[in-house]
Structure 1
């Protein structure tokens, strides 16, 4: 366990890389504090999109993703992270405390995952089928801690029911003015350091070819992947045995691991949470998994036909806004 103050330059580099993690509406609801020998992760409650995520569950999932991204960033540079989750019962915003110590070995997979942080992004366009799935699926299962999170791979035969759940969610929220206003707020046209950039929104034609997706405002773009007539992604569900904040955090950590592994394998991905925000559609997803577990997030995984068609990277908040050093 570390006893000396952390190297500010090393921590700054690791946190900056970790903050490339995905978050609900790219809200980045986290704050890091380097306090002597430890690095602490806090939930920034001012950045929780409450109409979308009234319980704050998705914000905690987002914090789990940034926590695992930090672990990957540290591992690639020869450091090991020992994590205490929700260590302060008196402060529910204190998500984790990380003790950093030197590791004995840096493997190629550590470097590959850190590299994947820089290239991973949410792709809302249609995908073709992921190749060699029967080989890749066991890899994904091997990186998920089965004691904390369950990975379900939905067969193509249930795709119509899944699309129905997606449409149900959208229809139930069509006249939810608070939700719609929040959605438009996080997809503003002006340049910002958070939210979903207008340049990443899809056209109506592109959106219509993806049957399982959150309905964001459409962008005024030409069709960017017309050669894919409909989405053929494989859809994963991450579920947990309980529905506590600790379960949500575990799901976020597993989500990060899966996204980085898929990216390192050359696959595209898109995280979906709209179908787990309302109980009606969440129940449909639960039934499709064949368990009584709690569905937390879904992930589309597939292949894109050309790297030239990749959407631009989403912006991130300045490091000074998310990292504080205390003496």
Structure 2
């Protein structure tokens, strides 16, 4: 039965896990409100990244990923999350209403997928080529809403053109003072609960071995994962048929699915979005990926087994992103 009463502690734990979703610069732009039956997801307007995300798409993708993480987290506890997207046309910040119904059975797969949320990292180091990629690529679409989101993998012979598009975005940002100030703010280590810590960044030497990625301030000289050499990741592209808020939010859910599938398969991942921030580079990705509107890339590969996996990035305290209100005040 939908709209069942769910213990607040169960929802709070599920939201805590959902907030492990990746977000632009680890800005965590979500706010959750629970009334005992229905959980509401809002964009937090106090978490802007305007210089980087001028269109607002990357913020929606982040929230869509958190929404899918929530679905995975509740499934592992025996509840099905029923999502109603954009329930209030008068409030564009109100992204979803979620009610819950008991599920029939919790499988080991449900539990493993929830565990993958905690295992996933944004890994900016170079990757070795993923093993058994053809099989993994064939199975990937099964986790996606392919009516809304399309998946493509950039072929190796097209990679140099994608690298050139990545370099183009960096050149277009060269004198963009607000952008560089924003990047510095989110990576300066001023907060222990948000932003990108030094442990999640790379040195200049490590960055030179990754040909597709956003440029961040570099860390002190280090040469982690030397046995990998140059990056040999596969590049997954998630695209939509339009740029409506609903489509972009659904793309965020697809991003979550790809990241968790890859984590469960033993792969490392890194989400990449800077190529979609300029029409020139976005059009290159669109052509290489099949002509739709690309929203996000994911590097997928193998990390080494010698302990160079980045530690988890920080998250804001649950009390800052989740609140319980009586139904009468919602």
Q: TM-score range by the shorter chain?
A: over 0.9
**CA separation in 2, counterparts of 1:220 and 1:57?**
32
Name the SS of the counterpart of 1:251 in structure 2.
helix
- Structure 1 residue 191: deviation in Å? 4.1
- 2:227 aligned with 1:213: no
Name the SS of the counterpart of 1:320 in structure 2.
helix
- Structure 1 residue 112: deviation in Å? 1.2
Partner in structure 2 of residue 48 of structure 1: 48
**CA separation in 2, counterparts of 1:296 and 1:315?**
25
**Structure 2 unmatched runs, 5+:** none
**CA separation in 2, counterparts of 1:200 and 1:3?**
40
**CA separation in 2, counterparts of 1:18 and 1:223?**
33
Asked if structure 2 preserves the Cα contact closer than 8 Å seen for 1:2 and 1:37, the reply is: no
- Structure 1 residue 48: deviation in Å? 2.1
Deviates more, 1:209-218 or 1:104-113: 104-113
Deviations 1:43-73 (A, max 9, x none): 0121020100012111000010000000000
Name the SS of the counterpart of 1:186 in structure 2.
helix
- Structure 1 residue 190: deviation in Å? 3.4
Asked if structure 2 preserves the Cα contact closer than 8 Å seen for 1:63 and 1:249, the reply is: yes
- 2:311 aligned with 1:320: no
Partner in structure 2 of residue 268 of structure 1: 268
Asked if structure 2 preserves the Cα contact closer than 8 Å seen for 1:122 and 1:270, the reply is: yes
Name the SS of the counterpart of 1:152 in structure 2.
strand
**Structure 1 unmatched runs, 5+:** none
Q: Aligned runs of 1:275-294 on 2, under 5 Å? A: 275-291=275-291, 293-294=292-293
**CA separation in 2, counterparts of 1:240 and 1:199?**
33
Deviations 1:93-125 (A, max 9, x none): 000000111100212221111000011010000
Q: Aligned runs of 1:120-131 on 2, under 5 Å? A: 120-131=120-131
**CA separation in 1, counterparts of 2:73 and 2:306?**
24
Partner in structure 2 of residue 188 of structure 1: 188
What TM-score, normalized to structure 2?
Answer: 0.97
**CA separation in 1, counterparts of 2:200 and 2:271?**
14
Partner in structure 2 of residue 251 of structure 1: 251
**CA separation in 2, counterparts of 1:8 and 1:104?**
21
Name the SS of the counterpart of 1:305 in structure 2.
coil
Name the SS of the counterpart of 1:131 in structure 2.
coil
**CA separation in 2, counterparts of 1:47 and 1:195?**
11
Q: Aligned runs of 1:92-241 on 2, under 5 Å? A: 92-241=92-241
**CA separation in 2, counterparts of 1:188 and 1:2?**
45
**CA separation in 2, counterparts of 1:319 and 1:118?**
16
What TM-score, normalized to structure 1?
Answer: 0.98
Asked if structure 2 preserves the Cα contact closer than 8 Å seen for 1:5 and 1:35, the reply is: no
Name the SS of the counterpart of 1:6 in structure 2.
coil
RMSD between superposed Cα atoms in Å: 1.1
**CA separation in 2, counterparts of 1:226 and 1:205?**
10
- Structure 1 residue 192: deviation in Å? 2.1
Asked if structure 2 preserves the Cα contact closer than 8 Å seen for 1:127 and 1:231, the reply is: yes
Deviates more, 1:41-50 or 1:185-194: 185-194
**CA separation in 1, counterparts of 2:155 and 2:97?**
38
Asked if structure 2 preserves the Cα contact closer than 8 Å seen for 1:128 and 1:228, the reply is: yes
- Structure 1 residue 200: deviation in Å? 1.3
Asked if structure 1 preserves the Cα contact closer than 8 Å seen for 2:205 and 2:221, the reply is: no
Runs (4+) off by over 6 Å:
none
**CA separation in 2, counterparts of 1:254 and 1:244?**
15
